Structure 1
Amino acid sequence: MPLQSYTRDKDKSPLLRWDEVPDDFVECYILSGYRRLHLTAQECLASIFQPTNETLNFWTHFIPLVLFVSKFYHLFFLATDLPFHHPALLPLWCYASGVLLTFAMSCTAHVFSCRSLRLRAAFFFLDYASISYYGFASTVAYSYYLLPRLNLLDPTVMTPYLQSLGWHRVDYSMLMGLYGELVLPVAFVLAVTCTVACCKSRAEDCSYPFAIRTFVFAMPLSMACPVMIESLLFDLRKINPTLFVYFYRRYFWLLVAAFFNVSKIPERIHPGLFDIIGHSHQIFHVFTFLSIYDQMHYVEQGLELFLKSNQPLPTIQGTIGYMLLLTMGLGLVVRTYLQGLGSSKKD
């Protein structure tokens, strides 16, 4: 169908069915509520107050964005006596930028995705990049606020179970030191790789795009494996109940979010019934918000413990420097895939 046939008169109903929009617009089992192509920026903004299939996609991330802006303002300017530019807060600045960028970019993508086919692809490439950016930013916060206080990474601490295995005769301090040196470089590579995989998943010949995106978004979470191992080999529930409860509840929310994102339930069960309210992507947004909200609890606690410790202060190179380098890398990935778009999307 020619691209011009998708453009509708402004006097007609702005909402279309799945067979009246370009294939790139169609979401699985969502039959109606689509906005027309080539809306103006003002019309896109007005649509967030109208019942379309993107309306709640926007609000389920805009409301959390406002909540997190308030939360980070409290942490930086009210919760401590430190100036906002103190080196101890550098990992928190990285983490805050990742959280806020993710929600802001998702809001932008969902609002302005009907400006044009090319802009739609660009917005969602940037959305994938922002999620990878957030994953790396979380690892930066973990590496300073959480990991140094894990018994797992302290060779002098052994449980009776590990001693019975003979681990007390093994000097694994070098291994733990190597992990500490490699955690950020490995997370950096994962962030770039995940963005490449997600951008490729938008290709027309990709059979399982949602499964691929869910899987690669989960890959950076592997950087938190030491916390999981800590709970298995050491009594994390007693040593740090805040970390234990919120960490595992966060991963439960992420599993639920992944289930809805891949299964396309409930719209798969009754196509057309959940076009405006209640489809899987909206539910996915809610549970990802809950996961990050729980993550905030133990990152904040990690900051409090870090400020009471004698740990070396973070450096600009090891925090903001990494984030700037990652931004350039992700920018190159997005630019490459935008240049590779087919002529049908260069409208």
Structure 2
Amino acid sequence: MVVESEGTTVCAHQEVPVAMEEEKGGGGGWGKRRRKQQGRGGEGGEKKKYALVSYHELPEYMKENEFILNYYRSEWPILNAVLSLFSWHNETINIWTHLLGFILFFGLALVHLGQYFPQVADLIGHLSWPISKVAENVSSNIGDVLSTNPALASYGMAVASQTTRWPFFVFLAGAMFCLLSSSACHLLSCHSHRLNLFLIRLDYTGIAVMIVVSFFPPIYYIFQCDPHWQVVYLSAITAAGVATVYALMSPRLSAARYRAHRTLLFVGMGLSGVVPAVHATAVNWHEPHRNVTLAYEGAMAVSYLTGAVFYMTRVPERWRPGAFDLAGHSHQIFHALVIAGALAHYGAAIVFLKVRDEMGCPAK
């Protein structure tokens, strides 16, 4: 979601220099020894305590948002970075928003798999996780919305499988990949320059994947009776996603000064959906479910585009530097809007799936 979706994302916000510095001493051995010595903290053998630092104390590759002044983790060991999941710093909310989003979509995937695989249904029945109940409530709330439409009122959450489900599960899997890669990026990119660059690239890939797979349920189910349009639209968006990821693999485009360029690449991918959307609306103008799907997809578009604006402008921290270091800064708002947009698209996908189950394709 995304929009780059800062991030649809999304960690993809840290500056990476044009060229990576060579490790001293002929490879990674020197760097590992240096970190080990730092961790021991000197001749006394005492372990070093890794404190939070200010923006000005960061290495250049970590300097991305000059309006967030404090509470940074800088070049922490992996274990310390992982354990910081449970401490308070300026990435805590970024990590947890998309980690909880991943868990929610994982729960939704289990709920839907349980409709077709008894073993999964039995597993869900034995789970006492609160998130499993949340996922079930989200699915049932979508069903309540559908029941308000007379044409869809006969649909239940468990339906006979009259059409293939793989496009729907491709969307859920892509959303989980995007959210988990974003959370991992925010959690671990404070470890080292090399890992930082790898995770940022992974995050960009996750954003592109989520945008691409979001096209699969609507295009597949809307044009199921016209397979050539399925091929045309899905091939086009997949090619655009691959090209975008390839372009963003350059360390140069990861630099903070290219923030707008990255955002526009992802926004452009998302807005390419206007063409099949207009086509689908024209073809299905008299269908009773049209307004429901348009409402869901409109909510998704508003969420993603609004998130992109926050990501690009870095508001509100731009207005009061330092005041939003821990909570309320633009990337956190962007993350929340990515989750909202993904859930709206999930609602639309449920409608597409159920309508196609009911209608099928006319005999030719």
Normalising by structure 2, we get a TM-score of: 0.69
Partner of 1:214: 263
Match of 1:135 among 189, 197, 211: 211
Match of 1:265 among 315, 320, 324: 315
Q: What amino acid maps onto 2:195 in structure 1? A: L
Question: 1:231–1:237: 8 Å Cα contact kept in structure 2?
Answer: no
Partner of 2:129: none
- In 1, distance between residues paired with 2:292 and 2:113? 21
Measured after TM superposition, the shift of residue 42 of structure 1 is 2.2
Question: 1:18–1:30: 8 Å Cα contact kept in structure 2?
Answer: yes
- In 2, distance between residues paired with 1:143 and 1:14? 50
Q: What amino acid maps onto 1:33 in structure 2? A: Y
Of the structure 1 ranges 69-78 and 4-13, higher mean CA displacement relative to structure 2 is found in 4-13
Measured after TM superposition, the shift of residue 217 of structure 1 is 1.3
Measured after TM superposition, the shift of residue 205 of structure 1 is 9.2
Percent of aligned positions that are identical: 24
Instruction: Check 1:20–1:248 CA distance in 2 against 1; reply closer, same or farther (3 A cut).
Output: same
- In 2, distance between residues paired with 1:52 and 1:207? 21
The DSSP-based 3-state class of the residue aligned with 1:35 is coil
Partner of 2:171: 95
Match status 1:113 vs 2:189 = yes
Partner of 2:119: none
- In 2, distance between residues paired with 1:189 and 1:139? 13
Partner of 2:83: 46
Q: What amino acid maps onto 1:263 in structure 2? A: T
Summarize the alignment of residues 52-63 of structure 1 with structure 2, pairs less than 5 Å apart. Answer: 52-63=89-100
Question: 1:91–1:144: 8 Å Cα contact kept in structure 2?
Answer: yes
Unaligned 5+ segments in structure 1 are 154-176, 313-347
Of the structure 1 ranges 25-34 and 277-286, higher mean CA displacement relative to structure 2 is found in 25-34
Measured after TM superposition, the shift of residue 94 of structure 1 is 1.1
Match status 1:125 vs 2:222 = no
Measured after TM superposition, the shift of residue 230 of structure 1 is 5.1
Partner of 2:44: none
Question: 1:145–1:302: 8 Å Cα contact kept in structure 2?
Answer: yes
Q: What amino acid maps onto 1:203 in structure 2? A: R
Match status 1:73 vs 2:110 = yes
- In 2, distance between residues paired with 1:186 and 1:116? 37
Match of 1:36 among 74, 86, 89: 74
- In 1, distance between residues paired with 2:253 and 2:276? 38
Measured after TM superposition, the shift of residue 238 of structure 1 is 5.7
Measured after TM superposition, the shift of residue 96 of structure 1 is 1.4
Q: What amino acid maps onto 1:298 in structure 2? A: A
Question: 2:215–2:234: 8 Å Cα contact kept in structure 1?
Answer: yes
Measured after TM superposition, the shift of residue 82 of structure 1 is 5.8
Partner of 1:329: none
RMSD: 3.0
Measured after TM superposition, the shift of residue 137 of structure 1 is 1.5
Question: 1:197–1:213: 8 Å Cα contact kept in structure 2?
Answer: no
The structure richer in helix per residue is 1
Partner of 1:23: 60
Unaligned 5+ segments in structure 2 are 1-20, 24-30, 42-46, 116-156
Question: 1:236–1:244: 8 Å Cα contact kept in structure 2?
Answer: no
Question: 1:142–1:299: 8 Å Cα contact kept in structure 2?
Answer: yes
Measured after TM superposition, the shift of residue 193 of structure 1 is 1.3
Question: 1:17–1:31: 8 Å Cα contact kept in structure 2?
Answer: yes
Question: 1:198–1:216: 8 Å Cα contact kept in structure 2?
Answer: no
- In 1, distance between residues paired with 2:253 and 2:331? 20
Instruction: Check 1:140–1:274 CA distance in 2 against 1; reply closer, same or farther (3 A cut).
Output: same
Question: 1:190–1:219: 8 Å Cα contact kept in structure 2?
Answer: no
Question: 1:88–1:307: 8 Å Cα contact kept in structure 2?
Answer: no
Higher RCO (CA 8 Å, separation ≥ 6 residues): 2
- In 2, distance between residues paired with 1:14 and 1:250? 39
Question: 2:91–2:326: 8 Å Cα contact kept in structure 1?
Answer: yes
- In 2, distance between residues paired with 1:236 and 1:53? 50
Question: 1:237–1:244: 8 Å Cα contact kept in structure 2?
Answer: no
Q: What amino acid maps onto 1:294 in structure 2? A: A
- In 1, distance between residues paired with 2:353 and 2:258? 37
Instruction: Check 1:205–1:77 CA distance in 2 against 1; reply closer, same or farther (3 A cut).
Output: closer
Match status 1:274 vs 2:312 = no
Q: What amino acid maps onto 1:77 in structure 2? A: G
